[in-house]
């Protein structure tokens, strides 16, 4: 199965490789980037290599897909995005993303997620048809909520104490997007 590469006006989406480990370490070692994540900030390149391997294994298993997000102009890795889970039987997936804090507030997340969602709902990705996409945010992650709402996701409620990381429980706000609601 070939990894699908995508493009937007400013960005290209490709498969992550071990060559990306240093750039990925820079992103995941930023405490602001991982503030709302279920991980601590990275401090070794080995951690980013394991993450790349994890994302690529998920793709090979048909259970998810995560793209490297690169600036077209320089090929610089500025983040990753994709589907953390993909349930073929239920025709739904969970979406996730993060970007280097240097690139926040420039519309990259909205641009790239629009392309990824469009490709999924048009059945252009290798895991079959999708009807629903879910995004979960930790309370307080207003920037991520704003991106999801811009893309047409509807806030569906708060799942109390549904996450546990960094030695505490976290309430997660659930957002859903159905195929007929996406323009």
Q: Which residue has the tokens 């519309």?
A: 107
SS3 of 45-105: HHHHHHHHHHHHHHHHHCCCEEEEEEECCCCCEEEEEEEEEEECCCCEEEEEEEECHHHCC
- Please name every residue paired with 44 in a beta bridge, in sequence order, or none if there are none: none
CATH architecture of 6-131: 3-Layer(aba) Sandwich (3.40)
Question: Is pTM beyond 0.85 here?
Answer: yes
pLDDT in tens, 19-77: 999 999 999 998 888 787 778 888 999 999 999 999 999 999 999 999 999 999 999 99
41 φ/ψ angles, rounded to the nearest 5 degrees: -60, 140
What is residue 24's predicted lDDT score, i.e. its pLDDT?
94
Candidates 153, 155, 148; CA nearest to 179 is 153
What is residue 90's predicted lDDT score, i.e. its pLDDT?
96
């Amino acid at each position: 199965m070939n990894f699908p590469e995508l493009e937007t006006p400013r960005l290209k989406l490709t498969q992550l490789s071990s060559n990306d480990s240093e750039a990925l370490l820079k992103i995941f070692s930023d405490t602001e980037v991982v503030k709302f994540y279920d991980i601590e900030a990275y401090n070794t390149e080995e951690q980013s290599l394991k993450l790349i391997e994890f994302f690529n294994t998920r793709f090979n298993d048909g259970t998810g897909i995560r793209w490297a997000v690169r600036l077209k102009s320089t090929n610089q890795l500025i983040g990753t995005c994709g589907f953390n889970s993909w349930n073929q039987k239920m025709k739904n997936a969970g979406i996730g993303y993060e970007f280097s804090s240097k690139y926040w507030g420039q519309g990259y997340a909205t641009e790239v997620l629009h392309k990824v969602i469009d490709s999924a709902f048009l059945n252009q990705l290798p895991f079959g048809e999708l009807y629903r996409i879910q995004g979960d945010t930790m309370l307080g992650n207003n920037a991520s909520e704003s991106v999801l709402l811009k893309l047409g996701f509807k806030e569906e409620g708060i799942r109390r104490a549904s996450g546990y990381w960094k030695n505490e429980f976290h309430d997660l706000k659930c957002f859903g997007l159905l195929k007929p609601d996406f323009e």
